[in-house]
Amino acid sequence: MLKGKILGVAIACTLLTMTACSAPWSAQKEGQVLKGSSKGGQKVTVIPQESSQDYRTIHADQSSDLRGYIQYGVDNRVDIDEMEEGLMRLSKDAFKPDEYYFQQGNYIKPNVIDDMLSRKGDKAHPGGLNPPLGKGKDLGEQASAHPKVLSYVLEQDYLVKAGDNSYKLGGVSLAVSVNSVYTESLYNKKDGKTYTADVTLDKSKAMAEGKTYAQKVLERVRKIKGLENVPIFIALYIEAPPGSYVPGHFYAKTLVGKGQSAIGKWQSVNEDYAMFPTAEADDKYKTDSAKFAKFKEDVEKYFPNSIGIIGKGFYKDGELSELTVTINIRFYDKTEVISFANYVSSLLQSRFPFSQHLPVQIYINSVDQPEAIIVKQPDMDKPFVHIYKLYQ
């Protein structure tokens, strides 16, 4: 048990499977950090990509007004991460990483976001796109009668070179997210009470409405100075229920050409997440669920009485593309951590029921802190292991 305040965290690389502390799954290519300016004169720093599949990042000296603002529309942390990372992943089809530079959204301001997410008829935000309150004896019932569907609009900017060390906007990506579950606490000034709305939406209906909202969002965005003529890539996202271990997923995408204000055809995005072990995973991905149960059984042989193992699988086009495993256990000394990490690493090499080409990350946690991480990528002969060391 740690005593006192943790002042810092250092990673100690155990020489279980590697001879150096560099992470082999993300070997960074040598690149120069460049200074430049964006169109408009703002000073920026260009961070080189780690691989040709990644974007070079434009880091502005002045942070975006929307930095962290997504948390006001999206409650679940796993949804926030997936929306941000997934939008960048999907944007690569429209804005190639070898031609475009990534930057946080800088054009859609917080007040515009607030207007779009508000209800129609809201006096403070008259441009609300969500439905007005329905009928009911109190605010909770009125909000539940007409639940909010549109939950957030996330912007990402993609820049191109405009000259030596200068950059201009080349395109914008938007993630338009909808709720699968609508929950909200509403304060009534008249009686001083707070009312709660909690509604599970019809998923298919919410996803269909997302396309309607996306058209309305596009029309608003085209009115923003600087976004009148650039290509706009739009991806639709449905959130997971609050508190879910796995995020929701993107389900449709489209590219709107320069100056266009009408969405044409949508293209389906076949992505999904599954949590193991669950009945839902058993139904949707029976074979993979059985494989995870076998791996879980092998891990539990080390500590049969005090272990918890959860898996998160990412599916693309119906195939398992990545697996993340969290192992929670009570450890008593660091040597036990090293021994257990060795054991799990050996399972990945010799008794792993999934394909050896499947990217895998395994996080080992004790009651108080993270203990180790094990990573296995398709191009690695052996798993790479980090043991965390916390200093008092």
Confidence at 3, pLDDT banded by 50, 70, 90: very low
Strand partners, 187: 194
pLDDT value, residue 23: 46
In the predicted model, is pLDDT for residue 63 greater than 90?
no
**Residue 379 to residue 392: CA distance in whole angstroms:** 37
Stated pTM of the model: 0.85
CA distances from 106 to 103, 172, 353 (A): 8, 10, 45
- At 44 the pLDDT is 66
Q: Token pair for residue 349?
A: 């090499």
Whether 6 shows a pLDDT value over 50: the answer reads no
pLDDT above 90: percentage of residues in the chain? 68
CB crowding 339-369: b at 16 or more within 10 Å, else e:
ebbbebbbbbeeebebeeebbbbbbbbbeee
Nearby residues of 127 by Cβ (< 8 Å), 6 or more positions away: 115, 116, 118, 220
List of E strands, 189-306: 193-200, 232-238, 249-256, 267-268, 271-276
Mean pLDDT across the stretch 304-323?
92
pLDDT digits (tens, 9 = 90+) for 224-235: 999 999 999 999
Which amino acid is it at 145? A
Residue 16 pLDDT > 80 = no
pLDDT average, residue stretch 75-81 = 91
Tokens describing residue 44? 């920026």
What is the percentage of the chain residues whose pLDDT exceeds 70? 85
Give the tens place of pLDDT for each residue, 206-221. Answer: 999 999 999 999 999 9
In the predicted structure, residue 278 carries a pLDDT above the cut 80:
yes
Higher pLDDT, 297 or 52: 297
Residue 318 dihedral angles phi and psi, to the nearest 5°: 80, -5
Q: Is the pLDDT of residue 29 over 90?
A: no
Name the 3-class secondary structure at 8. Answer: strand
**Pseudo-torsion of CA 181, 213, 176, 315, nearest 10°?**
70
Tell me what the pLDDT averaged over the chain comes to: 86
Q: How high is the pLDDT of residue 228?
A: 96
Kindly state the average pLDDT of the residues 253-260: 97
Three-state secondary-structure class, residue 349:
helix
Model pLDDT for residues 107-152, shown as the tens digit of each residue: 999 999 999 999 998 888 888 999 999 999 999 999 999 999 999 9
- Burial tier of 282 (Cβ tally within 10 Å: 0-12, 13-18, 19+): middle
